[in-house]
Amino acid sequence: MPKLQNGGGFAALSDVVIAEMSKVSLSNVSANEGGGFHVDGRLQVINSSTLSVQNARAGISGGGFLAQKDVNITGMSKVEISDSQAVFGHGGGFVPAKGLQLTEGSAIFIENATAGGKGGAAYSEGNVVINSSNVSIQNATAGTHGGGFHFGGLNMYNGFMVINNSQAKQTSSGGFVDNRALLTSQSQLVVRHAKGNNSAVLTADCLHIHPGSAFLMDNVKGGHAVMLQNNDCSSDGECSKRTLQVKSGGALNATGHLSLAFLSVAACPNETVHLSGISWSSHSPLLRHQRQPVEIDDVSIHYQPPLQNLLINCEAGFKINSLVATCTACAQGVTLNATNHMLQALSPKDRQCPSKVTVSRDKTSPCDCPTHQIIKANFRGNESVALKDLFATCQSCHNHSYYDNGTCRKCGVLWAWSDGKSDKCHWLPRENWQLACLLMGGAIIVFLAFVLFEILISPLVVVDATSDPLEIASEKVFTITAQGPIVGLPTYLSRIVHWLVSYRVEGTSLQWLDFDKKSKNTVKVRSIGNGKLQLQDVYVPFDCAACKGVMHATKTFPLFAVLAVFISVVVLVPVTWVVAAMSENGFGHVLVTAFYCLLPTAVAAAVLHLPVACLVGWFYRRTPFSAALNEYHKHIQCKPHLGRDATHPRNQGLMALTLQDLGKHFERFILERNMHFVVANIVRPLACNKRESFVTLWGGRQVDYFVSHSWGTSFSHFVRSIRSHAMSKGGQTWTDATYWICSFANNQWDIEAELGTDPMDSAFARALTGGIKGVVMVLDQQVQPLTRVWCLFEFFLSSRENLELDFGTDAGVIGDDGCTSFDIALEVGRKIKSLQVVNCETSSEKDKQDIFDYIVSELGSLERMDEQIRSLMGNMLKKNLSNVGHATETLLLELGQI
């Protein structure tokens, strides 16, 4: 058949009728329009006739054929079109321009049709009616819209249309209807394997499916299954406010993959969108971005994981009369969550839901509560709940409670913390701020208690201690100047501490004051300011002083306990109350936890105690006196005696210059204090390392003079007296004179060895009998040596050994030409007048008795000793009196009075 401009097989300028079982067959034809044939009028295929077109091609529209008017196929007739194409136009299979009537058991079969424009298999601007007839479209493709077909309207009455493997490059991969798509009287529209990008499978103004009819989509891909855009909202229009209508018994079913939603409905204003008779198998939403209200009835959705949360998004709200959602492959089942505008399908990870959820009148059965949650009291016993309450039926246990077999129990005080979401309680809070508050409160308490403890146990270092007479001469007060943490407190706090505690004094070398383990003597003090403490209710037996020693507070535990409790109440109670109030936990529970939080800082404090105590002790132990002692020790230069008898007392002499320097170095500490102070605070500490005598530190010298003296004499007076004697005997070389002084020559750390087994075995006697030049007895205003037994023993030995005996004072040697001290001479006379050796004293009763026995054995009686002393002292007084008279006469001559 020759190629024509329109109608590749034939072209008719008027109507064409194929009737009475006629058969028309065209193949391998092409034309500009109507590749098989072109009819300018109407086309009828009637009375069991057959029209067959194969391998037809149109440059523009109507690949199989094109009829400018309507097409009527009736009476069991059949139209078959295969391998047809409309290159740049519409209707790859055929184009019934003004409409199509397919009735009375007729059929259309289209296979492998392609259109460059609309309607891959068929295109019509008019209405298409399929009544008791069938349409089959296989493998149709449209370049723009309507992969299977593109009709002005579609009405199916007991008709059947199946579309397999259709696609459109723009929209509507299954079909496109400009107006209404109506399925009624047991009609079926089936679309299988339709493919599109984000387009719909079917696009129409409205879709009406009556009872017994169905629109079925199987394994389709695209954006939506159905897209409805109602442009006919007039009261008499076919789509009037019925954009989607699936009546009871009708069906709208689909399976496949849709990237956007099952439905896209642009309904009329004030229209309620009714979703019913729908069955959908996918994981995408049912309807999204809907402005009109939605009512759901008899909708079934079969989900495949993963579920998209959104099911319906409707700005005007929705109502669900009947909906079933299933997800058999979801491990946690499926449920719904509703808000005013949104319905979500979920497969929650934290709870177990059924694989099928049924909604009736906006209510459904709830899921099982998540692990460690219980049903709220107001939902217990309810088989169904409102959609909006589905996720409000369960609750975790309250804070600080734990889940126990379906009930909640309060955490105990020892394990007091929980967020209520587990079956465990914890011993510390889970919130960082709660733990931080408790740790900080505990740290403050431990820090304050630690400081308080260190203050109380740190010893007070004695800087100076001295006795002072009261107005009542027989009584004395003892004042200690100390340094340490306690005296460093504000005055009112320091006084409170002193009032509450007692002190154990150690290391002062004052026997009446230092702590004795047997008597367990402690002292009470009161603060008189400037670090000075005055002993309370203590008898001070004699004048004494010290510049060393420590004071340890005793009975501090009750005070520490009271203050620690006070600190805890002031700090811990407010912190505990705040944390308890903000965390909604019990006060007692939080209080126990607060004590837990004390433990780390308490352990740290225990670890730090020793180094801190050592640091505090190091800081306070250095006093001005200890500094002076260390400085003096550094200047000692030992020049030992190298002879064989270097340790003999006659070689334990101390240079007058060394004695002078010692007194000058410690002058501000010694003041008018006596030898007891010097030995206890200077001599013994300086020699404590090697436990030797003071003289040994410097290196002993051969003794020139033996010094007899009382330790009760002022040391400054003693030093001046020795200096006077040395100058009297040596003149300009007085500094080289050496003296045996018991307090310096004897080892004060082993005094029993120095005393020997009897008086003549003592260091005193060995020095006196060691070939020395003489003896000097140091006298003060009280002439104390004449009341001491050892001094009288030394007096006796010097007399027996015919040693020169001088009486030294700070004014000079009594009886020397240069000495005019009349007051001491008179006091000596008074003492001699009443002197009786038997009344003299010593610190040891044994020494006293041994010396008395020795004197008696030598002289016959103690009275003979009294006579010798009086005789010798009398001669000294006469000589001193003569010197005083001579000095007085010389002075009068100088004054011109004689």
pLDDT tens figures, 734-750: 999 999 999 999 999 99
In single-letter form, the type of residue at position 645 comes to D
Q: Do the Cβ atoms of 461 and 483 come closer than 8 Å?
A: yes
Q: Is the pLDDT of residue 207 over 90?
A: yes
User: 789-800 vs 845-859: helix axis angle to the nearest 10?
Assistant: 30
Task: Kindly state the average pLDDT of the residues 771-783.
Answer: 87
pLDDT at 828 over 80: no
Q: Which residues contact 435 (CB under 8 A, 6 or more apart)?
A: 428, 429, 597
Give the integer Cα–Cα distance in Å for 320 and 464.
Answer: 98
Count CB-CB contacts under 10 A for residue 392. 14
- The residues pairing with 60 across neighbouring beta strands, listed in sequence order, are none
Q: Where are the alpha helices (DSSP H) in 186-235?
A: none
Pairing of strands 738-740, 654-655: antiparallel
Q: 741: burial class by Cβ within 10 Å (0-12, 13-18, 19+)?
A: buried
Instruction: Report residue 623 as tokens.
Output: 């006093």
- Report how far residue 320's alpha carbon sits from residue 132's, in angstroms, rounded to the nearest whole number: 36
CA 273 to the chain's CA centroid: 58
Rg (CA), the chain: 64
Contact call for residues 811 and 780 (beta carbons, < 8 A): no
Instruction: Check: CB of residue 473 under 8 Å from CB of residue 524.
Output: no
Which residue type, as a one-letter code, is found at position 29? Answer: V
Among 52-61, 612-621, 887-896, top mean pLDDT goes to 52-61
Long-range CB contacts for residues 371-374, cutoff 8 Å, separation at least 24: 372/396, 372/397, 372/403, 372/421, 372/422, 372/423, 373/397, 373/403, 373/421, 374/403, 374/406, 374/407, 374/408
Mean pLDDT, rounded, for 627-632: 94
Mean pLDDT of the chain, nearest integer: 86
Q: What is the percent of the chain with per-residue pLDDT over 70, rounded to a whole number?
A: 93
Per the CB < 8 A criterion, the answer to whether 251 and 214 are in contact is yes
Cα(149)–Cα(100) distance, integer angstroms: 12
Q: How far apart are CA 348 and CA 336, in angstroms?
A: 10
pLDDT tens-digit readout, 220-254: 999 899 999 988 888 778 888 788 999 989 999 99
pLDDT given at position 3: 47
Burial (CB < 10 A; 0-12, 13-18, 19+), residue 811, is middle
Mean pLDDT of 488-508: 87
pLDDT surpassing 50 at residue 1: no
Residue 465 structure tokens: 């201690």
**Selected residue with higher pLDDT from 134 and 435:** 134
- Give the CA distances from residue 532 to residues 26, 461, 467, 545, 711, in Å, rounded to whole numbers and listed in that order: 135, 12, 13, 14, 27
Average pLDDT (539-565) is 88
Closest to 116 in 3D by CA, of 39, 68, 57, 69: 57
Beta carbons of 588 and 576 less than 8 angstroms apart? no
- Give the least confident one: 537-546, 655-664, 839-848: 839-848
Cα maximum dimension of the chain: 197
List, in sequence order, every residue forming a beta bridge with 487; answer none if it has no partner: none
Q: Which amino acid is at 771?
A: G
- Find the range with the poorest average confidence among 174-188, 206-220, 228-242, 871-885: 871-885
Q: What value does the mean pLDDT take over residues 433-441?
A: 88
What is the spatial distance between Cα 726 and Cα 366, in angstroms, rounded to a whole number? 117
867, 832 Cβ separation under 8 angstroms: no
- Helix, strand, coil content of the chain in percent (nearest 5): 30, 35, 35
HEC assignment per residue over 47-68: CCCEEEEEEEEECCCCCCEEEC
Residue predicted with more confidence, 70 or 645 = 70
Instruction: Report how far residue 878's alpha carbon sits from residue 114's, in angstroms, rounded to the nearest whole number.
Output: 163
> Quick check: 258 pLDDT over 90?
no
Give the range among 191-200, 234-243, 447-456, 539-548 with minimum mean pLDDT. Answer: 234-243
Q: How far is CA 711 from CA 399, 737, 796, 811, 873, in A?
A: 80, 21, 19, 19, 21
Q: Is 201 helix (H, G, I), strand (E, B) or coil?
A: strand
pLDDT confidence tier of residue 576, bands split at 50, 70 and 90: confident
pLDDT in tens, 110-131: 999 999 999 999 999 999 999 9
Q: Which residue has the higher pLDDT, 783 or 807?
A: 807
Upstream peptide bond of 306 is cis (omega within 30 degrees of 0)? yes
Say how far apart CA 798 and CA 803 lie, in whole Å: 5
Cα 295 from chain centroid (whole Å): 55
* Average pLDDT over every residue of 719-732: 90
pLDDT at 891: 59
pLDDT bracket for residue 823 (50, 70, 90): low
Poorest-pLDDT segment among 81-85, 297-301, 332-336, 890-894: 890-894
- One-letter amino acid identity for 764? F
pLDDT at position 62 is 94
Helix (H) or strand (E) holding 496: helix 491-500
Contact 252, 246 (CB under 8 A): yes
Contact in structure between 47 and 75 (CB atoms under 8 Å):
yes
110 neighbors 83 (Cβ within 8 angstroms): no
- For residue 506, list its beta bridge partners: 550
Where residue 323 falls among pLDDT bands split at 50, 70, 90? confident
> Quick one: how far is CA 344 from the chain centroid?
41
Distance CA 285, CA 653 (A): 117
- Residue 810 has what pLDDT? 83
Residues 509-526, mean pLDDT to the nearest whole number? 90
Q: How confident is the model at residue 385 (pLDDT cuts 50, 70, 90)?
A: confident
Provide the token pair at 88.
């740049």
Q: Which amino acid is at 534?
A: Q
Q: What is the pTM of this model?
A: 0.59
pLDDT of 188 above 80: yes
Phi, psi of 442 (to 5 degrees): -65, -40
